[in-house]
Amino acid sequence: MSSALFALANVNAQFESDSLKVYSLGNINVVASKVTSSQASNISMTQIKDMNRTNLTEAVNLLPGLTVSEAGARNEGALYLRGFSMLQVPIFYDGIPIYVPYDGNVDISRFTTFDFSKIQVSKGFTSTLYGANTLGGAINIVSRKPVEKFEADGMIGTKYGRNELGAYSGALNIGSAQEKYYVMGSFTYIDNKYNTMSKDFVVTDAENGTLRNRSAFRDIKASGKFGFTPNATDEYSVNVIYQKSNKQISPSVSGGQYRDYPDYNKYSVYYKSTTKLFTHLKMNLTAFYDNYYNVMDQYDDDTYTLQNTKKAFHSIYDDYSTGGSLVLESDFLKNNSLRFAFHEKYDSHREKNGDIKANEITGQTFVQGEPWQNYRDNTLSIGVEDAYDITKDLQVIAGANYNYRSNIKAQEYGTHYLTGDKNVLYDFPTGTDDAFNYQLGIKYEYVKDHHLSASAGRKTHFASQKDRYSSKFGSQMPNPDLKSETGNIYDITMEGDVYGVFQYSVSVFRNELKDAIYRETVGVQDNGDPVYLNVNVGKAIFQGYEVSLGYSPVKSFTIGGNYSFIHRENKYDKDIKYVGVPDQKVVAYAKYTLPFYPISIYADMESNSKRYVTSDGETLPGFTIFNAKISCKVTKNINIEIGGKNLSDKNYSIVKNYPREGSSFYTNLVFNI
């Protein structure tokens, strides 16, 4: 793969207006601004809009070290950060953990981006303010905050494929910032009728190759915030996010499972504040409640009508997390910025297979459901972080935290894993786990605006409820005593800015994973299939480097891109391959504004090398796709956009038997007041 690399430009002047609209209480930064830029990658509101990234999956794919994936059989967007999956890289919204309690995942494609101010991606030195489970880093979505007495912006859009209307969407942000308070509301609606297949797709018995079977979805998202700012140092804010989705699940093109998500809903309520207690002491408080509810149906065949066979189900999840954090910040000691953090997170997962009603017309028989099964965990984290300025050019940052997880309850319905009794509700034994993490970093400004940083640390990830207790339809034994995964994380980064025209960043990293959760074969089912047990025996090395470059010689022209190389090796069993992440990935981007007309032209490309899709070494070929957009300012407050994605109509996949969308085109009417 070519290493003629460009980077997504981080031209400071372009994003000055973005920084004003950032909800600062939602920021999670390594203490002291000197270390922030090298240890966390940011995607700004401008970048998201310029390249028409409508959801979190599309947006994070712009950054080096990040690879998007998907759970095809669940139609869920997913990601890997420097080789770590979402189980080891938690997702936050304004610092609030939003990953699902049971398995640690969340469908990131459901998070629309129109109300984002930026996305923070922490790779190396991850702040203790995130709490537990940041083994592979962390991703934090930061919402918007109004800055004018009245402001509003919105968008109305359509998508076309195969000469048909494929989707329509709309979004609106309205806010007001007054002397001592602010208020903001946001609404997004996306109705996707279908995705178009590439013309190069080879028709199968399960997929006709025109409009992708059952690719429709509808996303509704509403959010709001009210903040009180009594003085220059204090701020108090209440926030609400409501998301409602209905999504179909495209089946494998080779046939098999036939599923749908009629309900995929999430809402969050959270409080955040910062208060200056004394001259050198500040207190930050957070309290949150995050709810997740979904229904998944599996059917007998591709008619999506009957659920009479044993493989069919009507599965219901009803989960919530609640908790909060207390952070004390002090600059009392000379040349020191010190923070103490306390976090608590209570997770409740409830699941059951619900009743399926009889229907004489269709031939559906009555299927008896199950009682509710309950899983409950409580996680505590205590941490400290300090940045010490040895000189004006050299800073040392140290952090440590202690994490403790208690399993309060864990239930299952079915065949008892010890007694063999069938159709019973039973309790697993409960247990606890704890972990101690620490990290050390330095940053040195060897020339003005040019920095060298290095960090090393020990980080952990608690085994999820699913890892510990899921029977996976009889194919897995539970292991309530499953312990946390551990990693030694190393990063060296050199970055700089040359007169605001040229930016560069080069990172080299090595992640040594041990006590990783690994499935071992421990028996055989009645049908001859293996029975697995999750154990802490895995060892792995994830290592590589990232290069980012950006160039903007004049205000009207910007070009950039990034290159990632990631190699993952299973040290426990070298014959088993890690799936989902290509060794190499390139993103390139260009923007040009015509000198005499209010027209801007955007173009970007993404190229991936091949990736493993099965642990025994099967691969999917690499691919390159191109996107472009033209934006024309018709009045001071109105823009019209016309663009296309996958313009070469590339037939490609990132998960076996689940092809991605072919070429599509869109129009947007964008306005602001």
Instruction: Quickly tell me which residue has 């040895």 as its tokens.
Output: 390
Instruction: State pLDDT tens for residues 198-211.
Output: 999 999 999 999 99
**For 637, which DSSP code?**
T
- Taking the domains of the chain in order of start, what are their residue ranges? 12-573+585-672
3-state SS record for 193-209: CCCECCCCCCCECCECC
Average pLDDT over all residues of the chain? 91
pLDDT of 486-536, one tens digit each? 999 999 999 999 999 999 999 999 999 999 888 888 888 777 778 888 899
In sequence order, the 6+-apart residues with CB closer than 8 A to the CB of 4 are none
The angle at the Cα of 121, spanning 565 to 603, to the nearest 5 degrees, equals 65
Alpha-helical runs (H) found in 404-519 = 465-469
Structure-block tokens of residue 558: 């910007």
pLDDT band, residue 277 (cuts 50/70/90): very high
Rounded Cα–Cα distance for residues 353 and 194 (Å) = 29
pLDDT bracket for residue 426 (50, 70, 90): very high
pLDDT winner (highest mean) among 419-428, 433-442, 475-484: 433-442
Measure the CA–CA gap between 458 and 125, rounded to whole angstroms: 10
Residue 658, amino acid: Y
Task: Specify the pTM.
Answer: 0.93
Q: Are 642 and 236 in contact (CB under 8 A)?
A: no
> pLDDT of 573-623, one tens digit each?
888 899 999 999 999 999 999 998 899 999 999 999 999 998 889 999 999
Rounded to an integer, what distance in angstroms lies between the CA atom of residue 128 and that of residue 131? 6
Residues paired with residue 49 on neighbouring β-strands, in sequence order = none
> pLDDT at position 527, please?
75
DSSP 635: E
* Residues 552/501, Cβ–Cβ less than 8 Å: yes
Residue 469 in 3-state DSSP?
helix
Residue 18: is its pLDDT beyond 70? no
- Residue type, position 201, single letter: F
Name which residue leads in pLDDT, 473 or 524. Answer: 524
Give domain 12-573+585-672's CATH architecture.
Beta Barrel (2.40)
pLDDT in tens, 117-126: 999 999 988 8
Who has greater pLDDT, 5 or 220? 220
d(CA 520, CA 216): 38
Distance CA 31, CA 40 (A): 12
Collect all residues with Cβ–Cβ distance below 8 Å to 87 and sequence separation of at least 6.
Answer: 103, 104, 105, 461, 464
Cβ atoms < 10 Å from Cβ of 461:
27
Per-residue model confidence as pLDDT tens digits over 224-272: 999 999 999 999 999 999 999 999 999 999 988 899 999 999 999 999 9
Report the chain's terminal Cα–Cα distance, integer Å.
45
Strand partners, 101: none
Residue 483: pLDDT over 80? yes
pLDDT at 31 over 90: no
